[in-house]
Amino acid sequence: MSEDYVLPMLDISKLTSDKLTDRKEVAQQLDQACRDVGFLYIRGEQFKPALFQQLVNTVQYYFAQDENIKMQNYIGNSTNHSGYVPMGEEQFTANTYDLKEAYDVNYDYEGLTELRPLVGSNQWPNDQQFKTHVLNYYQHIKDIGHQLFRAFALALDLEENYFDAHLKHAPSQLRLIHYPYNPDAVDSSGIGAHTDYECFTLLFPTADGLQVLNKNLEWIDIPLIENTLIMNIGDMMEILSNGRYLATKHRVKKVKQQRYSFPLFFSCDYDYVIQPLVETNQPKYAPLKGGEHLFNQTAQTFQYLKRRIERGELTLNNARPLYSFGLNEKGADI
């Protein structure tokens, strides 16, 4: 890693090595970066930049379409929370909405007999090229994410393949996000400050705007670095590590330029129970049903799910408030 960047830089190339010592070396560096910051850049020989550019081209074409065409695949019509997310659909706080539109994609688990929320077949637009290019990118980043799960297992002194058995039908979501050109942008947040709900996130952005709350409680700008992904710790990894790693609060400030952002949020299987895996006499967190937590947090931010709750069609069990993890601006763990 290098100290020349605003965040740690981790080269994960050796995660594909057949030498355990090489993989442990990366795991130790990952552990250090996640304990110190919780946000980092990653790069590696396994990256396929052509797939990144192909995704950008595909998504630019999709979002340039008329709103009525995009709304044919409105996320509220789906069975597994996939599809088009219009501007204003998400609200992290009352009477505000995010200045963005998105298309949300889950892994296409087809033919499952035991369905869960967030798991199943995706809702896709009538565009085979869109589906092909998006899934190619998803599979590529999914492979990298599973390499990182094995690195986390080593970092937490578990068997290297510990997580493999718990990633069979994970509700790991890829978001295709578009921030339109905004000539009137002022320096305020575009996405409300939040932590990610899952284990960790791998993000590919096309423009600046991301800010991170560091341990000095300062909002710092995260610049783009070519051929890297930005990685951060989420709520579930905070629990799994028993607080060794803290979910890191972040936001997107308003910027004038058009911006695309592609986060892939990595979860364990829906029914996997999230609980501290680090041996200790004093666990800091009670067990949490992973998929249930993910769905509950989602239902507290999306309008179509809020409406179902108001109509009595949907009931949330064991729901925690938003912002239950990480650091707040006053310096307390939340």
8 A C-beta contact, residue 231 and residue 200? yes
164's tokens: 């493999």
Alpha-carbon distance of 125 to 70, in angstroms, equals 8
In a domain, 328, yes or no: no
Q: What is the mean pLDDT of residues 257-285?
A: 92
In a domain, 80, yes or no: yes
In a domain, 2, yes or no: no
Alpha-carbon distance of 199 to 271, in angstroms, equals 14
* 104 burial level (CB within 10 Å; 0-12, 13-18, 19+): buried
The CATH number given to whatever domain includes residue 13 is: 2.60.120.330
Q: Does 3 score more than 60 pLDDT? A: no
Q: Does 2 score more than 50 pLDDT? A: no
Q: What is the mean pLDDT of residues 228-242?
A: 95
Domain range enclosing 251:
9-310
> Could you read off the pLDDT of 166-179 as tens digits, one per residue?
999 999 999 999 99
In a domain, 325, yes or no: no
Which one, of 87, 95, 28, 59, lies nearest residue 263 by Cα? 59
In a domain, 327, yes or no: no
In whole numbers, what is the pLDDT of the chain averaged over residues? Answer: 89
In a domain, 249, yes or no: yes
277's tokens: 């895996």
Read off φ and ψ for residue 205, nearest 5 degrees.
-100, 160
In a domain, 330, yes or no: no
Look-up of token digits 């004038």 = 256
pTM of the model: 0.92
Alpha helix locations (H) across the chain?
20-36, 49-63, 67-70, 128-155, 235-240, 290-299, 303-310
Which one, of 85, 64, 55, lies nearest residue 205 by Cα? 55
Read off φ and ψ for residue 330, nearest 5 degrees.
-90, 0
> Could you read off the pLDDT of 240-257 as tens digits, one per residue?
999 999 998 888 887 778
Count how many domains the chain has: 1
What pLDDT band is residue 229 in, cutting at 50, 70 and 90? very high
In a domain, 154, yes or no: yes
